[in-house]
Structure 1
Amino acid sequence: YCTCNHGYRSESGQKYFTFPLETCKDIDECKPPISIYCGVNAKCQNTDGSFYCHCNAGYRLLSGDAKFSDSNENTCQKITPSDETKGTKELQRAVETIESRLTNKTLWGVEERRNIASTATDFLSSVESVVLDAALNTPDQKIQKVQNNTLAVETRVVTDNCSMGNTFNLKAQKNSMSIYCNDIIQGNIQGPSAVAFVSFSSLGNIINATFFEEMNEKDQVYLNSQVVTAAIGPKRNTSLSRSVILNFQHVKIKPGVKKVFCVYWKGTNEGGHWSTEGCVLIQANKTHTTCSSAHLSSFAVLMAFHSQKEDPALRVITYVGLSLSLLCLLLAALTFLLCKPIQNTSTSLHLQLSICLFLAHLLFLTAIGQTEPQVLCAIIAGVLHYLYLASFTWMLLEGLHLFLTARNLMVVNYSSVNKFMKKLMFPAGYGVPAVIVAISAALKPHLYGTPDRCWLHTDQGFIWAFLGPICAIICVNFVFFLLVLWILQRKLSSLNSEVSTIQNIRMLTLKATAQLFILGCTWCLGILQVGPAARVMAYLFSIINSLQGVFIFLVYCLFSQQVQKWFGEIIKSKSESETHTLSSRLGPDSKPSEVRRLVT
């Protein structure tokens, strides 16, 4: 037979059982019918399979322990004011010890970088030990705060179980930390547990940004927060079930920051250095930065400025080119709408592509630098993400339409192409990019909008939410064009095909291939802006991408014979209308002087 362990009872109520699916549930000794009595000024606390007694708030055991077993061990006495100040005094002495070491010029007055790093690693470790010991030695004082000119400390002691989802918020100077309560008690260890949060005013001047080894040579990195330390005890270096959230106030408010790094001090055999491992940037603005970390250590915020100033020539090229593109895209859209001889499925695809590019370029010109407020910047980045993805999706649909049209030369079923594309066009053209942006925004909304641009962050590879679909569309379109060329080659060798149809498809293929290069492949130039050729690539990228609208208007409107004929008819009819108006005003009996006056 089986029986439940001590502190548990079977669900059926039987002491002995043989049913293999019987379950044992915890007995709550603190509730009826058992209701353990712990004595005066104390109460019972149930645990999984057991229980313990502890003094009420404002009372403590003579022994200083946090728990006892029954009323016979109850020595709970009221805490006097002298007892309350005892813990604060001990923590104050610990802070004074830390301050004396921090201001000791002999200790830090070493010139070698490795020695400074090694001293800092030992110093931070000793700070954790001293502060946690001071908190654990006086567990009755749940919260203690001490601050002086060089550092601030807050400690929190936990003597009982945590309620579900309970978190603690600790503040030191103008920095704060949020930590999950169950991570502090470290698996129901015996005795009290504590968490400490320390903020240093001047330590960042010693272990500054020069100890950050992951920075780019072109970036000017500096430390823009106070160094903070977070630790739990009595066990140290334990794993966390949830990340801690750290909020830093910036030391200096400087706009135009290119990159923000959340870092922790990593001790090594060579001494130590700042590292981003396990630290993630959540959000940053001009005054504060919020980070999360999967472990406890000493943390700070580093910021980087790019040493290369913005090229004014590139700025002029971009804005002049985009302005010209906006005009050409507007003219192209009007042509696609009003020119009846060219209106078909292919023209509808061109029209939607022109509309998406027009809106994207217009938003880029007017709002790409609108970084404040941060929520508005994130919305702008999301809309730009959607519009550019929609443009590429319409390019993919053009490639698909071209392939299906060429394929139907092999199979006589011309009407099916238009029916299929009309059903697919709008759900795919506007729905697919919407799904991609929705998923990206749901997973990582904080990565929309950078400190200097309303665009996607490069952190955590988030930029591939844009580059990934683009690369996939370019590759698929390239396959479509190869298939179209293969079909045309086969049809040209056959005399049964209509020559004019093949010539039209061949012309469309050439235009679509040029479109793929101008609108698609040029985005690769943005990725290639590295190394010695970065400046050249930047100019090529700015020139070609800013003239996309001009290309669409030239290829699909001005170079089209049908559009040229349509324009000619409009000009001819306008000219005839003016001549008719003039002749009607003159009449057959008009005098020569009147003619001269009207012409003049």
Structure 2
Amino acid sequence: MDVDECAENACGANSECSNTPGSYYCICLDGYIASSGLTWEDGVTVCTSSDEFLASLNPPESVTAVLGTTVSVTDNISPGDGKEQQANTANMVLRISEGLASALVEPSSLENNRTVTTPTIGSASAVLLSVSGVDKFMSPSFFESENVTEIYSDIITATLPKTKHKELPEPVNFTVYHKKKFQAGLVTCVYWKEQGEETRWSVDGCTASFSNENYTVCSCTHLSTFALLLQTEEQEEDSSLLEAVNLFCMSVGLAFLALAILTFLLCTWNPKINNTARLHLSICLFLGHLLFLVGVSRTENAVACAVIAGMLHFLFLSSFVWMLLETLQLFMLVRSLSKVQVIQKEGLRALYLLLVGYGAPLVVVGVSAAVYSDGYGSKDACWLQNEKNFRWSFIGPVAAILTLNLVSFCVVIWNLLPTLANMKSDVSQSRDTRLIIFKIVAQFLILGCTWILGFFQRTFVLKYLFVILNSQQGTFIFIVHCLLNKEVREQYRRWLSCLCRTEGPSGSRPKENNMKHSGNTAS
């Protein structure tokens, strides 16, 4: 038998009681607020006028409220105060906000199209509200986690005013937008839980059902105050060590790139070797790494930062294009092996190489800047922004070039295998061919695979590998194309011997130590 609790005036004065099968619920009349907020406690909650309710709260100086307009949080209490004081301030702000929302709901709203109906609680107005500034008191320190945690959204409160119900028969979905640029990490839906003297962020009854770069959908089985927390791996103490390793490795790589450039310019090379592509590859890498080292963090001036980002975009794209042209040169060289028994200089002319090597990257950068000029530079780094997928103006061409290089690498190896089989009698020719194969493999691994690591820097191990290997591209180029070249080693010996014998014991220059090979070097 259903008992009508409302017949005994169970809700008290200034309230309206509604009987339901097996239960009942209470709402305060228009202009009155429940003393316990949105949760009705039988025998405890009373309905007081809005003015009396706000006066009875006696909030700290940091919180002020104006009925029907706004709730304001000032800076009289700083986030550096104790957690208990922060929690009390946050709870007070939320109570005032919920009380105002409850007071502003008109009784007529229960009958219009904004109402929702369930079998257990009848009809009610749903309210979503956000209080600016309260996040400074509801910090991530109230959430238990071993990770680095930060507030990733605005703090919102979802309520059904003038009801005592917070639990929902079915989960409700909230779409919460991120207030910061997308970062890799774990996005967690949490709610503000008050339980006795303990106040904290909790995940009970809330899960993240979907998330992308812009927003997260939270599915919750109750109403409360919600937020998104972003959890990232704890920053280890060796981040400064990583910067030191990067500085040292970049300096070493730049030094060897400079030596390689000087070698390509000053040495006398075999006529069958075309060094145009690798020379400009080294120049682009040298300028790109140097500018990255000294300019990527220069974010003070937005215009200068955008220019640096654009130059880095151009230089690194140029290095990839020159790497592709170098592979093309090697392919044309290998093709000549199957036709003649002597390797001859073959390939595109230097003018055509320059037009392609610098023209193609210039077109990509020009089009990218025309489509989205604000994509260059940000407050974090002088590089390409991730908004509107702008980084694909670099990632796309790089992925295409790496794919072409891989295909070219396979084709070159396939064409060289029968050539090697037919050259067993010619030891010199076979040795040259094997050296070409080694250089092709080394170049693909050094100039291609090291960049691939840049897309998978989720752990410190991968970050160290990328920093070390990518910064040593100049070192690898110098070893493969300079130190492993017999003619270059001989010229190094002549230069060193000339430097060592330039002055005799008395400081005079012996006549017999004139540089006999200077004519060959300049040719």
Instruction: With the length of structure 2 as denominator, give the TM-score of the two structures.
Output: 0.56
Q: How many residues align?
A: 363
Matching of residue 557 in structure 1 with residue 482 in structure 2: yes
User: CA–CA distance in 2 between the matches of 1:446 and 1:325?
Assistant: 32
Give the match for residue 538 of structure 1: 463
Match of 2:493 among 559, 564, 568: 568
Which runs of structure 2 are paired with 1:184-333 in the superposition (5 Å)? Answer: 201-202=132-133, 220-222=149-151, 307-308=234-235, 311-333=239-261
One-letter identity of the residue aligned with 1:544: L
Which runs of structure 2 are paired with 1:114-193 in the superposition (5 Å)? Answer: none
User: CA–CA distance in 2 between the matches of 1:437 and 1:320?
Assistant: 30
Q: 1:528 Cα shift?
A: 2.2
One-letter identity of the residue aligned with 1:221: E
Can you list the C-alpha shifts for 1:422-478, whole angstroms capped at 9, x where unaligned?
Answer: 343111111111222222222233332233222223344333322222222222112
Matching of residue 522 in structure 1 with residue 493 in structure 2: no
Which runs of structure 2 are paired with 1:85-124 in the superposition (5 Å)? Answer: 96-99=67-70, 108-109=94-95
Q: 1:408/1:550 Cα in 2 relative to 1: closer, same or farther (>3 Å)?
A: same
Tell me the SS of whatever aligns to 1:97: coil
| Residue segments in structure 1 that go unaligned for 5+ positions in a row | 1-94, 111-115, 131-197, 211-215, 228-247, 251-256, 281-299, 587-600
User: CA–CA distance in 1 between the matches of 2:71 and 2:423?
Assistant: 96
Q: 1:387 Cα shift?
A: 1.0
| Residue segments in structure 2 that go unaligned for 5+ positions in a row | 1-65, 74-88, 110-128, 157-178, 190-204, 216-226, 512-523
Q: 1:201 Cα shift?
A: 4.3
Q: 1:572/1:98 Cα in 2 relative to 1: closer, same or farther (>3 Å)?
A: closer
One-letter identity of the residue aligned with 2:405: N
Where relative contact order (Cα < 8 A, 6+ residues apart) is larger, the structure is 2
Q: 1:390 Cα shift?
A: 1.0
Percent identity over the alignment? 34
Q: 1:497 Cα shift?
A: 9.2
One-letter identity of the residue aligned with 2:465: L
Give the match for residue 407 of structure 2: 479
Matching of residue 365 in structure 1 with residue 293 in structure 2: yes
One-letter identity of the residue aligned with 1:99: T
User: CA–CA distance in 2 between the matches of 1:445 and 1:304?
Assistant: 32
Matching of residue 408 in structure 1 with residue 336 in structure 2: yes
One-letter identity of the residue aligned with 1:535: F
Tell me the SS of whatever aligns to 2:274: helix
Q: 1:540 Cα shift?
A: 1.3
Q: 1:584 Cα shift?
A: 7.7
**More displaced, 320-329 or 504-513?**
504-513
Q: 1:302 Cα shift?
A: 10
Give the match for residue 494 of structure 1: 422
Q: 1:276/1:491 Cα in 2 relative to 1: closer, same or farther (>3 Å)?
A: closer
Q: 1:408/1:205 Cα in 2 relative to 1: closer, same or farther (>3 Å)?
A: same
User: CA–CA distance in 1 between the matches of 2:398 and 2:469?
Assistant: 17
Give the match for residue 339 of structure 1: 267
Runs (4+) of structure 1 moved beyond 6 Å? 100-107, 205-210, 223-227, 270-280, 300-306, 413-417, 580-586
Q: 1:584/1:508 Cα in 2 relative to 1: closer, same or farther (>3 Å)?
A: closer
User: CA–CA distance in 2 between the matches of 1:223 and 1:412?
Assistant: 66
RMSD: 5.2
Q: 1:207/1:421 Cα in 2 relative to 1: closer, same or farther (>3 Å)?
A: farther
Tell me the SS of whatever aligns to 2:275: helix
